[in-house]
Structure 1
């Protein structure tokens, strides 16, 4: 059975209503972490799960040539104005093995039920010495088990170790209550990177007072 593109149903809302509410600046450190971990470079940078392509300008500003892959035709209808795209399942990337010098996954790993398989594909398409940057919601502080309704604290309830998909969310104004999320505890996430044949080289967190995002840099030996 072909995977379902959950974002098709909310693509217009995401582009016109959700993205404008993110405001100016970088409150949870997404752009900062991408800049620090990816850094300047040349050649193709494959964005896995590019969505509407909102990160393409930043990647291009670092000197890379951004290209994107996503499952959702609705999201890609907006992305095509921002970068070259292909519609594909991230567990079966339409990219030659050992062909790209860099890849990124920006706030998408919870949208991918088999993220370990996605990481294996990233390991396949990266050339030796290639860099992969993951910027995602923090496994320990975001999920169906985390109530972030109080801006001064995060309440953690049972569920962190379950590693399950859920639509539970502390807010009805975000993405998760619409498309759901797959949760990967921190050890599961990092072990999947190693199983993909990648070497972890750096880490970062963003957001306050408790981290909202967790990011890492990995290199293909």
Structure 2
């Protein structure tokens, strides 16, 4: 996740809101209105061996990964978020752009609602491809690039307004609400063609897709495999 340097010390953007995040974003099947858990369960599927979550945050999805028979492990930049995560899965404080794993060492990797926190996400996809074993699976679940961003006004959910800006690759803290994350930590945006192009450029073969949320999709899920 994003970070800033304060007096020579790297400070992760989520450190200051880790306690709030733990209270607000601990998901369950009963509160899965965006279909995040459904997408992760359906696209990742059962398996064995370690499954790395990049940008694992508080480890909120570790239990679901474990239910699928896999062994969850996580990396995140934020010490504040990892304070909660280490109670749920083995973790390392690390940059997703420099993963502390050997080439071809992992059968599965997931990224859950974090790609907008990573200004260099295409490079992160390259790291995912590097650490995945041949035929290994990668599941990305993130905000929908076509309908969620600084260009989208969701204040009236019966009439969502898409303003100019979708095609602009940008970072912003502009938000229609003060109850979300973007106004607190900011978000990067890639149009759909650039996001999917990042998978292809990293050598990840696209296999399946899903969308979640209503009345307009808020999430996009992608299953890819290392070629």
* TM bucket, shorter chain: over 0.9
User: Secondary structure in 1 aligned to 2:42?
Assistant: helix
TM-score (norm 1): 0.96
Q: Aligned pair 1:173/2:191, yes or no?
A: no
Aligned equivalent of 1:149: 155
TM-score using structure 2 length: 0.93
Aligned-partner Cα distance in 2 for 1:116–1:173? 28
Secondary structure (helix, strand or coil) at the match of 2:167 reads: helix
Match of 1:99 among 81, 97, 105: 105
- 38 and 21 in structure 1: CA distance in 2 versus 1, 3 angstrom threshold: closer
Equivalent position SS for 1:37: helix
Matched residue of 1:33: which SS? helix
Aligned positions, number: 220
SS in 1 for 2:125: helix
Counterpart of 2:166? 160
Equivalence for 2:198: 192
Match of 1:14 in 2: 21
Could you tell me which residue of structure 1 aligns to residue 89 of structure 2? 83
Q: Which residue of 1 aligns with 2:41?
A: 35
> How far apart, in 1, do the equivalents of 2:135 and 2:41 lie?
18
Q: Say whether 1:203 aligns with 2:209.
A: yes
Confirm or deny that 1:108 pairs with 2:94: no
Deviation at 1:23, TM superposition (A): 9.2
Report deviation, 1:20. 5.9
- After TM superposition, give the deviation of residue 5 of structure 1 in Å: 1.2
Structure 1 residues 3 and 153, CA, compared in 2 at 3 Å: closer, same or farther? Answer: farther
- Aligned mates of 1:20, 1:55 — CA distance in 2: 9
Structure 1 residues without counterparts, runs of 5 or longer: none
Q: In the alignment, what sits opposite 1:73? A: 79
Question: Could you list the runs of 5+ residues in structure 2 that have no partner in the other structure?
Answer: none
Q: Is residue 218 of structure 2 the alignment partner of residue 212 of structure 1?
A: yes
Say if 1:43 and 1:28 are closer, same or farther in 2 by CA, change over 3 A.
same
User: Residues of 1 paired with 2:175 and 2:86: CA distance?
Assistant: 30
Specify whether residues 101 and 22 from structure 1 end up closer, same or farther in structure 2 by C-alpha distance, changes over 3 A only. Answer: closer
Partner deviation per Cα, 1:148-206 (whole Å, 9 max, x = no partner): 11122321011111110000111001111000000011000000001111100000000
Once the two structures are superposed, what CA deviation does each residue of 1:40-76 show, in whole Å capped at 9, x if it has no partner?
1101000000000000000000111000000000000
- How far, CA to CA, are the matches of 2:72 and 2:55 in structure 1? 12
Contact kept in structure 2, 1:15 and 1:52, CA below 8 Å: yes
Q: C-alpha separation between the residues in 2 aligned to 1:109 and 1:190? A: 12
CA RMSD in angstroms comes to 1.6
Q: 1:136 to 1:21 in 2, by over 3 A?
A: closer
